[in-house]
Amino acid sequence: MSHPLDAIPPHGGHLINRVCPPSQREEFLDKAGHLPRVQLDDRAFSDLVMIAIGGFSPLTGFMEQADYDRVVNEMHLINGLPWSIPITLSVTEEVAAPLKEGGLIRLDDFTGRFVGVLELTQKYQYDKLHEALHVYRTNEEQHPGVQVVYNQGAVNLAGSVWLLQRDSDPRFPSYQIDPAESRVLFKDKGWKTIVGFQTRNPIHRAHEYIIKCALETVDGLFLHPLVGATKEDDIPADVRMRCYEIILEHYFPKDRVILAINPAAMRYAGPREAIFHALVRKNYGCTHFIVGRDHAGVGDYYGTYDAQYIFDEFDSAALGITPMKFEHAFYCLRTQQMATTKTSPSSREERVHLSGTKVREMLRRGELPPPQFSRPEVAAELASAMQIKELSYDI
């Protein structure tokens, strides 16, 4: 009998697993003191984890130059598969100089803990400006993704990786569901169609509206907030997770939603990251992916619906996951419900739009945004966190 998800195989057809089996882990630990070391920053560590658990299938490690060049220039791997974001491990020339191709490199996290091994196959230099202009569509250092590229080392280290062990995230252990597990959960629930929703912000009414529109047409929702590295002014993951729990408890059917964390880091690459996010959710077993207004955008670097248009540049069969494109939603005072320009007859003055700046100001004063913008329970949680931590949130 066929598996319900045979129609949505992982990207490349095989779910990658680069988590060390116990015997190999012991072998690496025995060699630990003799291996050259490279320390990973937050994003590189997230990438290591995502590669190891299969979230970045078909990648088995950090990209060699041929894949890097084709991804940057053409948004495909050298094997022809769509891929829109370069996954690289960059170090300084001083760090790279003594490292030997063909050797093993010990990978430490930002605390100095031994977390993985790189089988070094290649060292190569790359053009930071070229990467910025192609991946982020700008060379401005103010862009958070470009800033990371400019600040990282001039040499990329490439090769397959091993994660020593898959540790539980101490912040959200019950929501750590890796691709192999999510696929089993979908099968156990009998879901044949699953829509993934990427978020790095609390869910407000516009998000809720488009999610529920999507949920009308599929079997289940995979709510998959990103908890890896984000901008300093983004809302902390623990606050966001409490908001997700609140809105699921009060406003969603419990048997049709799975909440799980995505350990990846944000790139803020707009259209390219929308493709990337869709492929990651394909690896988790999703058949559909929501793409809304300014997906993965930042500032005014991308057009409102550029992240939707980019899907038209790819062969849908090669992508293997269906984008669900939604207009910007708002509360319509005339119809007294959430709507978009596709469904509302209202004038601009009859639409409740609140800017992030205005909402932040209200929360800092202890005022709750109107229920047309945010569910009151979620707004109360945000207001409490805002006042306690005195944080500047990007909503």
What positions carry a catalytic annotation? 200-201
Half-sphere exposure of residue 235: CA atoms within 13 angstroms, side-chain side: 26
Under 8 Å between Cβ of 275 and 82: yes
Cis peptide preceding 58, ω within 30 of 0: yes
Q: What would the 3-class secondary structure string for the chain be?
A: CCCCCCCCCCCCCCCCCCECCHHHHHHHHHHHHHCCEEECCHHHHHHHHHHHCCCCCCCCEECCHHHHHHHHHHCECCCCCECCCCCCEEECHHHHCCCCCCCEEEEECCCCCEEEEEECCEEEECCHHHHHHHHHCCCCCCCHHHHHHHHCCCEEEEEEEEECCCCCCCCCHHHCCCHHHHHHHHHHHCCCCEEEEEECCCCCHHHHHHHHHHHCCCCEEEEEEECCCCCCCCCCHHHHHHHHHHHHHHHCCHHHEEECCECCCCCCCCHHHHHHHHHHHHHHCCCEEEECCCCCCCCCCCCCCHHHHHHHHCCHHHHCCEEEECCCCEEECCCCEEECCCCCCCCHHHEECCCHHHHHHHHHCCCCCCCCCCCHHHHHHHHHHHHHHCCCCCC
d(CA 50, CA 71): 18
Q: What is the C-alpha R_g of the chain?
A: 21
CA 320 to chain centre: 18
